[in-house]
Structure 1
């Protein structure tokens, strides 16, 4: 269903660009998260990113769909090289566009209490590295404060692109397994004749 959502959205963009000449070739990146209980699904096309911040550790969940990333993975160029920087904004997958876009990556993960998911544009990650993102999330437990600090840092450093950050924090009630000791204590207390 998540992939179907992506295909429908891609079709809408292509159709809109076909009908309105001024929008011909219109394309965009997409990183979205859908949650159902403890399950999260990350839908991704382009170079915007999704990160999981769990217990003080930041993990990049998405894979940049750029020419630079493809060339680095194939061993044809080195990460951080001038060629990597030059090709880092050439997208190999995206929504819409003249080529109609490709298919999105879908990642599935199980959430834990206290997890945070950060969705952000390359305008942030081009200016603020993963270590600094992790430190900021660690120091700012509130979503609004963390996002504000991250965006401000990117802009202070010359933010050459759209800088967007959205942070979701997940809290879950105790599961029956975790609370069974308490439930058994309450049952014993209730049944105790004293």
Structure 2
């Protein structure tokens, strides 16, 4: 079994009265969800997503099918609850799960919807593994605007995919990763990565320290840097020193199973 340590931290930030982020840090699954739709909808949506994924956290290792089924259930639960003052609610979702690799071993399964992020830090290098589903990312990808506009563009906070805004499950970005001794992961809401540069995130993840301390440090620094949104982070560490390659395999985007995301 993988030797893992982890920690999580969250803060409402300086500008928000409530915290609509939710997080799960319980091997084999780690999740951050950033709710949207305003009080009380945003918090309800992110909590519902985390609750469904928590339901598969009882075993030391899970499967990709179990994770994606939980994501589909979360989408339906949120969409069906979006009535009255919760109308229009939804949530981002980014996760990392320890799954069976098909040969008796274990590997990582990463997945995301929206602009909450997953970073991997190993051998002194930081890599963003998740894909931002946002208007600003699409504009940058097509060359319509420069990367330098990411944090100042008027459409920077508009996401193009979210969980629970429809009974139809949005496409889930997902990939498999080989496990590397000594690697660290950060899952975070945009309240963290919008305030801290990749260079600063890498510097903190490079420090000696327990993942709980590192998660708290990152959240505290994001709040101090501006704290314009709720801030959440989960840090996971694989024991040992770096010895292997950083293999990442992007998976085909899954289609909902029959009965999932129905009309």
TM-score, with structure 2 as normaliser: 0.60
Measured in 1, the distance between the counterparts of 2:168 and 2:191 equals 24
| Worse-matched range after superposition: 27-36 or 136-145 | 136-145
CA RMSD of the aligned region, Å? Answer: 1.9
C-alpha offsets along residues 72-104 of structure 1, whole Å, 9 cap, x if unaligned?
111112122279621111000110125856221
Question: Does 1:34 pair with 2:102?
Answer: no
Equivalent position SS for 1:146: helix
Measured in 1, the distance between the counterparts of 2:129 and 2:189 equals 14
Structure 2 unaligned segments of length 5 or more: list them.
Answer: 1-64, 100-104, 241-263
C-alpha offsets along residues 9-59 of structure 1, whole Å, 9 cap, x if unaligned?
111111111xx4221111110001110353101110011100111122111
- Structure 1 runs, 4 residues or longer, greater than 4 Å off: 98-101
Classify 1:128/1:140 alpha carbon distance in 2 versus 1 (closer, same or farther; 3 Å): farther
Counterpart position of 1:170: 238
Q: Which structure's CA Rg is the greater one? A: 1
Equivalent position SS for 2:192: helix
Counterpart position of 1:185: none
Query: How many residues end up aligned between the 2 structures?
Result: 170
Structure 1 unaligned segments of length 5 or more: list them.
Answer: 173-194
Question: Does 1:112 pair with 2:170?
Answer: no
Contact 1:35 1:41 in 2 (8 A): yes
TM-score, with structure 1 as normaliser: 0.81
Measured in 2, the distance between the counterparts of 1:123 and 1:83 equals 12
Q: Name whichever structure is richer in strand by fraction.
A: 2
